[in-house]
Structure 1
């Protein structure tokens, strides 16, 4: 009996030591630092690197669940597990729009399906540097909301001239229950007030929108397409650009645009969800997420391939066609450079 007990104790001690080894020296501990949705740093203790690809949810969101193929608004920042430094060879850390597809963001896509908007993830991926097992890629992913996220407020009483009655259509976007008639002057009416910073002149914004004529007929929208877009205020419809300035990120607003500021297309009603402020497109580039240094085989390295989503009018087609500064009543084609490039995990030579 004594021998059996001793053997049992020895077995328990060995098991305990194995457990300590797995959770201690071989652990890959990552702590993100920074407010959700803002630029982040990390505190890393990962001496052996990540043994396998893993995903950890460090903040559980309460927004819509992400589905395969949709466009998300995200901030993905890649770090080197050996020192916690940002991987500068990647186009990383910027707020951007990306399609949840293999083409859009590589194998990161399947790790996002089913996750709720408003979540923060830490993804650990081995193989950052070929032949160096201690070098892993740490990706901190913030998944921002793709609908307005703030406090609902009542429409002013009396409402501005031309203000329609706004309802909710299939797909969660806005609808016009009854038109408001002629629009004599530019007005912006908040329906939901966000808690983000105010929009400034000339910014590029991530938005969802619905465009109506003064009779309440839908001209264009993004909600049923599942694709928020980037709206360049430097080139968008004049009245829309002016009407969004000073509104808060996270808001849903109704912009009443008289014909004179709709560039001759007649009065327009634009319901806009202001989702985030994107980096400006580089000079001569269509997409705010294009660019970055060249990775292996001449491909652009970035944490997730980003399809063109820029909505400044004229250029290559993107998933939808935002209101633009055009004199003809036709819908514009937004600007957009080709997306693509290596997703996170592109191996580096050093």
Structure 2
């Protein structure tokens, strides 16, 4: 499921994906499944591009130009305007261009931001206050309001934007890019011979996107299956970290329900904020590894239907662990 919102800003979950309880057959997962003599084949295809937002009107541009920003780069700014502030479509302006490294698609950027309610000018969230900057991959469709506005800018840039929040109110967001880092796009390390009888994984040569085949006679496990396919040489992941991953998720019948590969960019999220099968399966693995997870329902969504995932479903994931850092 895709949100046309400002990143995960102001209470929009950072990882708005199946793992957090938001599965959807039209977000990244193609829903495609094929049967063969070897079993059920799970493939993912690119998701449709979102429709572009309308161009801001002269009134929208004037409204954002009227917002005053004061304070130095690196500190929480003071943002003031005459309330209520209204715009009809996302409208932005660059307050400071930045002097650091240029921001390119695929880079992992870290931002601080403050969110102000357009109706009364009250602050509804600030990473400067919580001391918890947010990181994401430029190009991730979940951050579609920031991608085009930040690509080509530089570290240190400050972006001011007014847009409609998920609750349909207008919010003003001041974003500052504090860091940019290039990370791998796929797992790199030593191939591991998997245990016989498990779902098999074939990787696209250029992208590393997996195709998963579930054997026709495969029996649902009662316990979590964690099978390394590639062992990386990075640090060991802990449950309290935020991880950046590429992943694909399938049902045992071969239905694809979610995939970061189909969205085109890795995804970052706190490991302690996802389903138990992920928390328990990824913790202890090394950065750079690729892991096959077969998650029984009691470590997934249990007896609850979740979007494209039926109740009591066993889930199969292929996960490339690209980075892990303090949450």
Structure ranking higher on relative contact order (CA contacts 8 Å, 6+ apart): 2
Query: What TM-score does the superposition give when structure 1 sets the normalisation length?
Result: 0.43
Query: What TM-score does the superposition give when structure 2 sets the normalisation length?
Result: 0.45
